[in-house]
Amino acid sequence: MTEIDSYKYWLAQIDGRSEGTKELYILYFQKFLEYVELTPDELIELQRKAMEGNGDPRENHVVESKVRAWLAEMKRVKSPATCRSMLSAVRSFFELNLHPLRMLRSDTPQGESVGSRIPEKEEVIRIADAGKWKYRALVMFLKDSGLRMSDVVRVRWEDKVDMGGGFWNFNIMTRKRQVQACAFVGPETTRLLDQFKTKTGRIFHTTGRNIVKQMSKTIKRTGIEGVTAHGLRKYFVTSMESVRVPEQYYLHMMGKKSSVYSEKRRSELFRAYRKAYPELSIYAAKQQTEELEKLKKELLELRAMLNELAKKG
């Protein structure tokens, strides 16, 4: 009888899942293996013996006990949502190898993740200004496009369509949902991207995981609390909603499922995006305030001059 490599068998079975989910499952399962210090085949053998075992049923849940102990450890540093994903990854390994875990409903991590709040414009400016100019371009791209970080790092110069007026369009297939995104970026982003020396291949040579890591470090340095890189995606949605862009429009821009899939609608999506851009812009309000303060100062100076002339006259 040929022995089956349980890990390779599992990888073959999850091959149909999205690339993002597959990567996470592999990552989480590897963390579990490091914790228990056992190989995949050793785990399956333990579970096989447990499922065939007689006697006291409490002695036949060795693997389940290891999973519970691992989850208890993870709960100290991970959100409930992440812990649920970690459990799903480990559970899938045993289920697809036909040696399912016998977990209780109460074993599933409970609770809601706090998540990130929507950053204010001033906070987005602080985050953008905290890094080098290439990093600032990345922050601008995230807030302008509303794309996931895992998709932004896959955008290529060859995907660019110049819409005029400092606006660019990128049509890409999203990694997580395999949905066509009709994304746009505006002048605050394109002015920075124009400074890039290389205009071929991927625009940002990094990974989605690295973006999260670097963004976390930068935001921490700014002292801003409750905001993560994902908050820029929320900022995009709020900006679109505030100027009443139809939901199916901005969902299609972000690469989420919507009823607007025709390439012929790009011009219509762009009109809506361009109309909303003043709300997306983080410097427009600042520039308006500075210009207003300058005008006030000039007005006061003019009044002072008129008063002086009146006294002399």
pLDDT the model gives residue 71: 93
Say if residue 311's pLDDT is above 80: no
Say if residue 43's pLDDT is above 90: yes
pLDDT the model gives residue 14: 92
pTM for the full predicted model: 0.62
**Chain segment 223-249, per-residue pLDDT in tens:** 998 888 889 999 999 999 989 999 889
Between 241 and 265, name the one with better pLDDT. Answer: 241
CATH architecture of 121-282: Orthogonal Bundle (1.10)
pLDDT the model gives residue 1: 40
Question: Mean per-residue pLDDT for 35-54?
Answer: 91
Between 9 and 306, name the one with better pLDDT. Answer: 9
DSSP track, the chain: -PPP-HHHHHHHHTTTS-HHHHHHHHHHHHHHHHHHT--HHHHHHHHHHHHH--S-GGGS-HHHHHHHHHHHHHTTTS-HHHHHHHHHHHHHHHHHTT------GGGS--S----PPPPPHHHHHHHHHTS-HHHHHHHHHHHHH---HHHHTT-BGGGEEEEETTEEEEEEE-TTT--EEEEEE-HHHHHHHTT-S--SSBSS-S-HHHHHHHHHHHHHHHT--S--TTHHHHHHHHHHHHTT--HHHHHHHHT---S---GGGHHHHHHHHHHHHHHH-SSHHHHHHHHHHHHHHHHHHHHHHHHHHHHH-
Q: What percent of the chain has pLDDT over 90?
A: 54
pLDDT confidence bin for 34, thresholds 50/70/90: very high
